[in-house]
Amino acid sequence: MSVTETSIAAAEAHSAHNYHPLPVVVASADGAWMTDVEGRRFLDMLAGYSALNFGHGNRRLIEAAKAQLEQLTLTSRAFHHDRFAAFCTQLAELCGMEMVLPMNTGAEAVETAVKTARKWGYRTKGVPDGRAKIVVAENNFHGRTTTIISFSTDPEARADYGPYTPGFEVVPYGDPAALEAAVDEDTVAVLLEPIQGEAGVLVPPAGYLPGVRELTRARNVLFIADEIQSGLGRTGRTFACEHEHVVPDVYILGKALGGGVVPVSAVVSSAEVLGVFQPGEHGSTFGGNPLACAVALEVIAMLRTGEFQQRAAELGDHLHRELGLLVGGGSVEAVRGRGLWAGVDVAPARGTGREISEKLMDRGVLVKDTHGSTIRLAPPLVISKEDLDWGLDQLRTVLST
């Protein structure tokens, strides 16, 4: 057996089979490139689902992490530490908001937003106890906790995990009338991805997000934007909501906030909304730890320059122009997305998304399939135009064979 096969066999024997990774074993990486245990190089066109927006081994982020590792790594929130205030202040400022509640993973931040909205509903809006409702969208992906999968519409994510958490109503994504009909006096929040990533990079119709903003404001309901995958530069703006000039009441952030180094997530909102929490009512041992804050502060500083957003916008225009040329030629049925983020629906005759991903792997490009025949492209924002073009060449070759 090869080193790769031995490693995969051992992983399969001793880890739960809750993933079906491509048969590649990565050992190191730099920028947009990864190297496997046998020395083969692969262009990373997934970027850890946007967690690696700034590329592998980004020097600024690694240096910030190293310096902090030597200084202080964890205090728990029982004590203050000297990176916390700067992190909260600067993240709130980047978001145009007032307060931050730091967590670690995306799902934890979504859970935190759900708890925030419910508490705000009872304490501030005056919803009768136990009646708070949150409206969500079909085909959403917000994480894997028991509560979050309770409002998933994906059977794979939900099956056998009941009993489910009540208090959620699902409406079709992009349908303003359905949303309006679902919002009632007990509704405390509308929770949406401004672009649905896992569903296949679905961009809602123009005007939908402004409509959600208008409705939620008029009905005293919080608009919670899950920008865990879409935010922090991916779409060519700091937030995907910006494309429609929308500012939600609550941002949920994760993935790229940790610079591909440590898990960092946060709920960011106004003092009125996040002010509902009192000591002891919510928390996390690792949330807002010094190492996380040090890395995230560097991420925030990098985003403040606007350089990464601009790169994503320019390279994204190029990516979408090139992908657009493939539509209608028999191999690609549709392309969606914004910035350096695309969902490509491959004609079923060309193979499943998984088969296309495996063929791309054989040609040195790593992508991820979703929902049958869709593949997602989300390279690190630091990818060079030459590398992006090379990746696109491989895709064209795979689709034509």
Q: How far is CA 196 from the centre of its chain?
A: 9
389 is catalytic: no
Stretch binding ligand PLP (CB under 6 A), from 4-12, 99-107, 206-214, 391-399: 99-107
Least Å distance, CB 171 to ligand PLP, is 17
CA dihedral 150, 154, 159, 163 (to 10 degrees): 10
- Binds ligand PLP by CB under 6 A, chosen from 31, 102, 106, 200: 106
- Binds ligand PLP by CB under 6 A, chosen from 25, 29, 34, 110: 110
133 is catalytic: no
Euclidean distance between CA atoms 227 and 10, whole angstroms: 36
The answer to the question of residue 308 lying near ligand PLP (CB under 6 A) is no
Active-site option among 119, 133, 255, 368: 255
Euclidean distance between CA atoms 401 and 395, whole angstroms: 10
The answer to the question of residue 141 lying near ligand PLP (CB under 6 A) is yes
- Where do the H-state alpha helices sit in 204-337? 208-218, 271-274, 290-304, 307-324
Stretch binding ligand PLP (CB under 6 A), from 17-25, 32-40, 80-88, 225-233: 225-233
Stretch binding ligand PLP (CB under 6 A), from 88-96, 136-144, 231-239, 323-331: 136-144
Q: Which residue is nearest to ligand PLP (CB)?
A: 106
Least Å distance, CB 104 to ligand PLP, is 8
For 240, phi and psi rounded to 5 degrees?
A: -65, -30
Least Å distance, CB 197 to ligand PLP, is 5
Tokens of 279: 């000591």
The answer to the question of residue 107 lying near ligand PLP (CB under 6 A) is yes
Q: Cα–Cα distances in Å, from 155 out to 139, 164, 165?
A: 10, 13, 16
- Binds ligand PLP by CB under 6 A, chosen from 42, 49, 223, 277: 49
344 neighbors 374 (Cβ within 8 angstroms)? yes
Residue with Cβ nearer ligand PLP (124 or 165): 165
Euclidean distance between CA atoms 239 and 311, whole angstroms: 14
- Binds ligand PLP by CB under 6 A, chosen from 58, 105, 116, 370: 105
The answer to the question of residue 226 lying near ligand PLP (CB under 6 A) is yes
Least Å distance, CB 230 to ligand PLP, is 7
Tokens of 235: 């779409």
For residue 185, the one-letter residue type is E
- N residues, the chain: 401
* Other Cβ atoms within 10 Å of 123 Cβ, number: 12
If you search the block for the tokens 């041992």, which residue do you land on? 285
The answer to the question of residue 254 lying near ligand PLP (CB under 6 A) is yes
Write the DSSP symbol of residue 196. B
Active-site option among 44, 54, 133, 226: 226
Euclidean distance between CA atoms 166 and 93, whole angstroms: 34
The answer to the question of residue 228 lying near ligand PLP (CB under 6 A) is yes
Among 44, 7, 50, 51, residue whose Cα is nearest residue 29: 44
Give the contact letters, 185-224, x = binds to ligand PLP (CB under 6 A), - = no: --------x---xx--------------------------
244 neighbors 209 (Cβ within 8 angstroms)? yes
255 is catalytic: yes
Residue with Cβ nearer ligand PLP (265 or 373): 265
Given the rule CB under 6 A, which residues bind ligand PLP? 49, 105-107, 110, 141-143, 193, 197-198, 226, 228-229, 254
**Residues marked as catalytic:** 141, 226, 255
